[in-house]
Structure 1
Amino acid sequence: MKLTKKDRYFAMYKGDKYVDGGTIVELARKYHRTIKQMIYLTYPTTHKRAKDNRLLLYEVKD
């Protein structure tokens, strides 16, 4: 069974500093963001455009 992006586990970083981890739904609730905003932070294009201190999400794979 393939997990949807909302069900996968992500690590949240601000620059090089680890902030938190969890599913997109959990992180969106905790940090008062929409799910669409959180999904945007997972895209490779967003990672390429990011400056030094930008909030980004990276998928954690087993």
Structure 2
Amino acid sequence: MTRTDDRYDYPEQRFIGLGKIGQRAHVVCFTPIEGGIRVISLRKANTREVRRYENAAHE
């Protein structure tokens, strides 16, 4: 699942993705660039984000 990251007035359009790598949920922040994407950060999802992912997966 992906959503626009509009928490701040960033100079570029940013997105936040939530998904699994193996058995663990992760969060990635990225921005589109010419020819691909640029990853800004990638980390393990916290408890709240894991719950959000699991709820969305069951809808």
TM-score by length of 2: 0.28
Higher RCO structure (Cα 8 Å, ≥6 apart): 1
Instruction: Determine which structure has the larger helix proportion and give its number.
Output: 1
Larger Rg: 2
Instruction: Determine which structure has the larger strand proportion and give its number.
Output: 2
